[in-house]
Amino acid sequence: MIPDIPQGEFQPNPELDLATKPSSKSPEPTRNPLAVVVLISGSGSNLQALIDGQQGGDLPIVIRAVISNVPDVRGLERAEAAGISTAVLNHRLFDDRAAFDTALMALIDSFDPALVVLAGFMRILTPDFVRHYLGRLLNIHPSLLPKYQGLHTHARALAAGDSEHGATVHFVTEELDGGPPILQARVPVLPDDDDDRLAARVLKQEHKIYPEAVRWFASGRLCLDPDKRARLDGKLLTAPVSLPPNC
């Protein structure tokens, strides 16, 4: 488990500007496990990291359901093996994105989660969906945001000749991969790296930082404030908490 990082050890990132507008609620500190729904589209390796944390007692959460927009993916098997309810809502069966998101919101809300976690959920969400869960919707992105929003992040980092790459946990807002970043992990880009080798090293770090950010949220330490800025222990995160390379 990543140790608690006290205020004052945040590494600054002057590229980030978190000033925005809407409002949200933060979870009240509670001794009861936080109800979580996880959305996936594939293998669910980040889901497995959350399941392991829940089962090991490191995460004060209960995953009430895992929902996939793609049938028969490995992530559903992981959830079922852990005794977690699963559901498939195939986006291909809907006329448009708005209709799918409306049905998805109804399905999620039937489990009454306090937090919705996107773990490799490969859908662009509508503004209505994001507003519905604003302040309780987390995502992990395989780049050091704000760099490389969108797809093909590893190839783009290699093409740019970057010396380091990584992953970011962030609150989800209406801007694609543009919500306030919370926690980052960094890995060096090695001379013989290709997409697959770099992606594998980044993924190992994702499995560390995503459970940690969820733990902060579940324990009441992390929230999105009314100005849509991330706060940890009540203090503004002007830059994401950053783990050193190879952590």
**pLDDT tens digit sequence for 43-69:** 999 999 999 999 999 999 999 999 999
Mean pLDDT of 158-168: 97
Model confidence at 18: pLDDT above 60: no
Q: How far apart are CA 196 and CA 35, in angstroms?
A: 34
Residues annotated in a binding site:
44-46, 97, 122-125, 139
- Active-site residue, from 132, 141, 165, 207: 141
Model confidence at 31: pLDDT above 90: no
pTM of the predicted structure, to 2 decimals: 0.86
Q: What is the domain partition of the chain in residue ranges?
A: 34-242
Provide the mean pLDDT of the chain.
Answer: 90
- Bridge partners, residue 66, by sequence: 38, 86
Is residue 132 part of the annotated active site? The answer reads no
Strands (DSSP E) along the chain, which ranges?
Answer: 34-40, 61-68, 85-88, 115-118, 137-141, 164-171, 181-188, 222-224, 230-232, 235-236, 241-243
Query: In this predicted structure, what is the pLDDT of residue 246?
Result: 60
Q: How far apart are CA 141 and CA 118, in angstroms?
A: 10
Q: How far apart are CA 80 and CA 242, in angstroms?
A: 33
Mean pLDDT of 16-33: 47
- Name the residue among 13, 45, 7 with its Cα closest to residue 205: 45
Q: Tokens 């490389």 appear where?
A: 148
Query: In this predicted structure, what is the pLDDT of residue 243?
Result: 80
Model confidence at 1: pLDDT above 70: no
Query: In this predicted structure, what is the pLDDT of residue 244?
Result: 73
Cis peptide before 3 (omega within 30 of 0): no
- The string of pLDDT tens digits covering residues 189-247 is 999 999 999 999 999 999 999 999 999 999 999 999 999 999 999 999 999 999 877 64
Coil, strand or helix at 235: strand
Mean pLDDT of 86-90: 99
Residues annotated in a binding site for (6R)-10-formyltetrahydrofolate:
97, 122-125, 139
Q: Which CATH number fits domain 34-242: 1.10.1840.10, 3.30.420.80, 1.10.1020.10, 3.40.50.170?
A: 3.40.50.170
CB 46 within 8 A of CB 38: no
Number of CB atoms found within 10 A of residue 127's CB: 11
Q: How far apart are CA 231 and CA 93, in angstroms?
A: 39
Identify the band that residue 20 occupies on the pLDDT scale cut at 50, 70 and 90. Answer: very low
Q: How far apart are CA 159 and CA 181, in angstroms?
A: 24
